[in-house]
Amino acid sequence: MEEKIKEILAETGAVLSGHFLLSSGKHSGGYVQCAKVLRFPDKAEVILKPVAEKLKEMKIDKIVGPAMGGILVAYELGRQLGIEAIFTERTDGVMSLRRGFELNKGDKVVISEDVLTTGKSTLETRKVLEAYGAEVVAVASIIDRRGESMLEDLPVISAVSYQFSTYEKEDCPLCRSGMEVVKPGSRTIF
């Protein structure tokens, strides 16, 4: 199934190579733009089905996706699981739950993401949810591109994994080659 999902990601133009500034501030020659595949609801259903199947085994009350990338993933997983899908968002750089969304003490929640790189957005989201007394039981994503071990105390359920080289800005060979760097994501605070 991983191969089929990677084919869908490639054919929808989601897998990019170039010189990218990631949300973490690191640089990379590879990037997965999940919005390119999620623009097709039928393909979103296919690529997230294996993730939803695994989540079915857990007793989950809600799916929470951090904006922007996690929202559509939460929506599709919530649809397949028949549960509520909500989102957190950054206001002045601070992640919070807004729009009258509610979490009850003891709610078992899954955080959904399009891409996991360093896990920073996920950890920020986890803090917000735990402050409401919710229990984060897993993280779900389309892409797992974590290079280092992050989120070790949580089950991570992803549709596919990629290993792209990432570099600190100072050590980036793509910077040295003079290639212009592109920042596709919306986070501005690293």
Ligand X SMILES: O=P(O)(O)OC[C@H]1O[C@H](OP(=O)(O)OP(=O)(O)O)[C@H](O)[C@@H]1O
Ligand Y SMILES: O=C(O)c1cc(=O)[nH]c(=O)[nH]1
Chain contacts with ligand Y (rule: CB under 6 A): 22-24, 31-32, 34, 69, 114-115, 117, 145, 185
Out of 80, 121, 158, 166, which residue is the one contacting ligand X (CB under 6 A)?
121
Q: Which does 31 bind (CB under 5 to 8 A by kind): ligand X, ligand Y, none?
A: ligand Y
Q: Is 119 in the site for ligand X (CB under 6 A)?
A: yes
- Does residue 90 have a known ligand-binding role? yes
User: Does residue 161 touch ligand X according to CB under 6 A?
Assistant: no
For residues 115 and 23, what is the distance between their CA atoms, to the nearest angstrom?
11
Residue 118 known to bind ligand: yes
How many degrees, rounded to 5, is the angle at CA 153 between CA 157 and CA 184? 55
The β-bridge partners of 89 are: 96
Q: Which does 113 bind (CB under 5 to 8 A by kind): ligand X, ligand Y, none?
A: ligand X
43 has binding-site annotation: no
Which lies closer to ligand X via its Cβ, residue 81 or residue 139?
A: 139
Calculate the dihedral angle through the C-alpha atoms of 12, 139, 60, 43, rounding to the nearest 10 degrees: 0
In angstroms, how far is the first alpha carbon of the chain from the final one?
Answer: 34
Q: Which does 80 bind (CB under 5 to 8 A by kind): ligand X, ligand Y, none?
A: none
Q: Is 145 annotated as a binding residue?
A: yes
HSE, side-chain direction, 13 A CA sphere, residue 157: 22
What one-character DSSP code corresponds to residue 160? E
Nearer to ligand X, 117 or 158 (CB): 117
Helices 69-81 & 41-56, crossing angle to 10 degrees? 60
Of all residues in this chain, which one has the CB nearest to ligand X in the complex? 185
Contact partner, 159, from ligand Y, ligand X, none, Cβ < 5-8 Å per class: none
Positions 52 through 91 that interact with ligand X (CB under 6 A): 66, 68-69
Is 159:47 a contact under the CB 8 Å cutoff?
yes
**Which of 78, 185 has the CB closer to ligand X?**
185
Hey, which residues does 147 pair with through a beta bridge?
A: none
Tokens of residue 60, six digits: 């989950």
Distance of alpha carbon 133 from alpha carbon 45, whole angstroms: 31
The residues of the shown chain that bind ligand X, judged by CB under 6 A, are 23-24, 66, 68-69, 113-121, 185-187
